[in-house]
Structure 1
């Protein structure tokens, strides 16, 4: 056979080499045979003996064979770099199992998927399904945009922090001439603290930047591969690359979003007091100002993607139509819920499949996870907080009850030893209850009204000591800064009959807008960040997973819960 620069050696997948074209089935048997044919359906070069099988086996007869020389001129230059090989058997991928969404070589198809109903040759799918604007590429592009935004934010934060730090000595020097030696000592003390703060925060900034740059590099590399295969690759190659990178794209997107949700900015400032203490005193007694170190999460509008849902239907064990009035995530991702109508505590797995239940002796109102295996439940009819133990095997047992003097509805954790609870028939709409049942009040000027069942909800943001309270009939969301003694009142057309409230990503506030059939995201300053229509009527209660990646909503619509 004549040799030219257009021929290739398929065994190594290197194009442009001056070598004979070798039969791929023979190469799989460690045998080198010159190929005479190319099967467009199998997408491989074959010798005469191997290609003759097409005339023997009936299901291979529709395959189209061309000469190897003709195929060489049409063969694309995209190097699959092993992506077209089965990870388990190292054979060429030729099939796709639609039942299990898996790429298969011939061995996989015969051994692992023989019971599947739809195992299709890739050649029959590739041309129909592929598009340059593929979902994987779109997800990677979106991830790239987020990653670039993180780096931009990190660099901006670093520049601002440098500017803040450099400004501190300048501020101090403006007053230096008035109080001589005191400001010499002051500058040394303050700058030392500021530099220490900068060193501590620099580690976080560097970690975020380095981690995101690695993600960005991975995203860019995969985007280059996808762009290359759509420019130079065959439909089958495009299909395989898509499927190979599907999980990578999802993982990168999740990782970058997780970095963004925990992204912080840092700043530092120095304000002088109106009066100064003059020396001789120790420097820490006459510092004429207050040093403020600030950490701010970057408030980012959240995006909601539906994952799964269930209809709460009456079963043979139920007395009434189910009504879930309280939900929360356990630390391992399971969901705990309480059914007010049927007096049951329920456990669901990540697929919203019921995996455990426990019959209660009262009508529950709300539930909160206290630890890995313990939850606390409130009741609208019993003056108590009831604790249940939930094992990792979904066995539920009663732990204890704490007697209280007020009826409670919503409940959330304030810290390791206290709850924040929403009251029923009490003009103190939110109170503090310890894990042992001791009750205390907030020093807050609440609205002078008592809320009845289903009229309000509350939650607590631990990192900022912020109490959030909803008023369903006035359409208000109250945001109270407990330490700062501040109050923000949110009233917006997007918030109608606000009920349940939860702490969302970056300590934003998630509100169920019952009359709008939507979920509204609010910043702690009262700014509307996002609003999302959902496919259930009258959203009533919501909870967010510990890693802030999942939101669960239950509703108060009797027609379809």
Structure 2
């Protein structure tokens, strides 16, 4: 046979083997989102079609606002899925498939389809275009592979030339494959390796295998056995199990969705009931607040009117006392003197009565902060009214005297060491809260000495200051942080996760204008914690304690020093300027400091063993100085009451209360 003879039987593609497709505009099968050919096309009710994947991404990326629809990406028509209760990620699958687009895509793909050479693909050589189709074995061959297989192709075999736009139908003839390595027909079967081989493969790679038969013998063996039937039975069993598993997963998904819907409905109902309760609570508290305010204001207005009438009468009498007519007329002078004496006597009688009836009324909303409290049942809200009767001084405090009215033992049954009270607060309701650095506790007492509560701390507390109505800040100088304590119903609780790190030692503390001002005593520094920075003020001695002047909003500080002409008490203005209030003299070793409502300053002299009072005009006088006063440590004042602690070992377990008069 002449060379190339077996390849001369190239035939023209017949009508039963090829199929021409109509010319279709490819843009009709493009997705308007990704601009690629539509994959799994899904049609919306507005008849716009998108890839299922593109539509799913578009839906799931829309903000989830609990709606049951979405706008069409093209015409913006509001579109409702088949089952809105399904998750948004499943909405795209619910829309119908556009079969017309599917068929059009197939026709377009056939028009541009390029067939690759099968032998080259098996050798992992891709994109080699086929030139002929070998009908009997349904194989596409390139020119190179056609030349290699000329000896295999019989004269009666059909080779069809591949042209664009053809559809090649698979042959019904028995298929035969060729070994890609040895280019021989694979007609043998190795049962040891369960693989189809050619004769060269058997001779080289399977020569030690025990059972090697022809492919047809193995086929007869399989047909005569129950392997196919067994496989079908197992396939059926696996299919049933897989179907059951899929149904179970679907039920679980449905149950999950139903559970979510139930919880959402419960949350909506809970929110409505909670809002109803809050509205009722607000209405009740508002009514009680208005009633209390009107009652207390009426009492105060009556007292005020009585005082103002008497004040105006006194001022009139004062003015008349300077009149020349009274000085010249004996009768009028005697009558006026009698009138003035009656007014003085009347005022002296009425003032104690007014003071006795006068109470300090404080109104606050009592509620539980669920973010920081551990109570299982938080208090939603109730009106808390505190009425406190306080003494009143009828003369300026710079001329007042102090009288001891009580001494409280602050050592409790659980204390292991001697008490060391380094921080004191006299509260408006008559309670006294103190920092016991000797036993690492904060304690709460009544004025009569009854222990209300004590809070153990993980470290040594030093000083205290009020931050809010029921919130106290305490410095933990060894740990370099500030802890916050909540006073609730005569109980002390530590705020969780609310510690503030100071970054340096902290002793004295006060809270003013929304920020903490502290002292690092041994470093002779005063600093304030702000949101952005750490502001410092350097002194020459040891500033231990601070207090806030509510009138000027200044910070008042004491300095522990006994050096003559050193600053003993200073004032720090809001703009950061430090001025001297008094020098070392009558006061030595300044410790605890506080400021009353009139701006008078009270300071403990730990070395001078006294308590001094400094008026706003700078007058310094000794307020407390007795033999029982040993190393006064710190103090706190409210109204006409002053509470004081001592550092001496034989008096440190007690605090003393003084009345100013």
- The TM-score range, normalised by the shorter chain, is 0.3 to 0.5
Scaled by the length of structure 1, the TM-score of the pair is 0.45
- The structure whose Rg is larger is 2
Scaled by the length of structure 2, the TM-score of the pair is 0.39
